[in-house]
A and B are shown apart, each in its own frame.
Chain A
């Protein structure tokens, strides 16, 4: 075999394997849309939010949707993962597969108050706080 062929073939195998993994991951990703249950949970605690979406939000931009910890606890697995962190409620379902620290870290706080876990890992880190903020769906009652 050509002397130069071995490293080139090895590289091609690594490239194909990693490319395949990324491709499979990309095709498995689904666009996350709130379930009916989530919509109901949001509207049951905030009647103002129930009268059809964006127009209501525009009317009451400062009124956050509030949830009890019991409502958060219903969303305790990968199919729907909510967590309360420092008084706010976050829907982390779409973040599970993307979390650089691994899925387990997020799955561990689904349906719970994840403040201690989040603060323990990322306390004071602006970047992580900014990312978390993008998943906010309301406040803890």
Chain B
């Protein structure tokens, strides 16, 4: 019973995180204007793109990564990249309620990366 429950833990973590990233990705794609004010100034100056374009790129990145997590394809690497992505956002936001919450999200994603594939991921069936 305990080992069965344990085997579901990474699946729950993976699917839960994929839902989070999919929601943020889709939201940025469908309503990018609402997210423009969150784009840091350095991202605009370094990339040379407009804030709106950065939001769209970020949205597609998070949506695709969310899909990959949902099916469990390249789980370790996708989670590692997402984790680094969220750590960067956390650092930019700073020690606010949102920043601390993002820190938790980044740590959970890092944890998923460290675990890698689970019994129900596509990775373990290829």
Contacts and interface: CB of A to CB of B under 8 A. Distances in A.
Interface of A: 3-4, 6-8, 10-12, 14-15, 17-19, 21-22, 25-26, 29, 98, 100-101, 121-122, 125, 127-128, 130-131, 134
Contacts of A6: 120, 125
A7 B120 contact: yes
Contact of A7 (B22, B31, B71): B71
Most buried by B among A6, A7, A14, A122: A7
Interface string B23-36: 10011001100100
Interface of B: 15, 18-19, 22-23, 26-27, 30-31, 34, 37-38, 40, 66-67, 70-73, 93-94, 96-98, 120-122, 125-126
A93 to B, nearest CB: 14
B22 A14 contact: yes
Given A18-B26, A22-B27, A10 B70 contact: yes
A116 B19 CA distance: 33
| Residue from A125, A130, A134 having most chain B Cβ neighbours under 10 A | A125
Closest 6 CB pairs of A and B: A11-B71, A11-B70, A22-B26, A18-B22, A7-B122, A14-B70
Contacts of B122: 4, 7-8, 11
B19 A14 contact: yes
Contacts of B72: 7, 11
A122 B93 CA distance: 10
